[in-house]
Amino acid sequence: MPTKNPVITMVFTKELLESVEDFRYQNRIPTRTEAIRRLLEKALDLDEKKDKK
């Protein structure tokens, strides 16, 4: 199914990918992509809250 959303390619270190996979399994997230998306949203929310202080 084609998407109109931008698609990006990323390269991860082995250790970073293992951390993403750990987060994924601990949170029962079905896909690696969804886990990365959620982690990015969390980081951006934290950064936004930090900037408002």
Instruction: Name residues whose C-beta falls within 8 Å of residue 38's C-beta, 6 or more positions apart in sequence.
Output: 27, 29
The percent helix, strand, coil of the chain (3-state, each to 5) is 65, 0, 35
Domain boundaries, the chain: 26-53
pLDDT at 3: 78
Q: What is the CA radius of gyration of the chain?
A: 13
User: pLDDT by residue for the chain (53 residues), tens digit each?
Assistant: 677 889 899 999 999 999 999 999 999 999 999 999 999 999 999 998 888 87
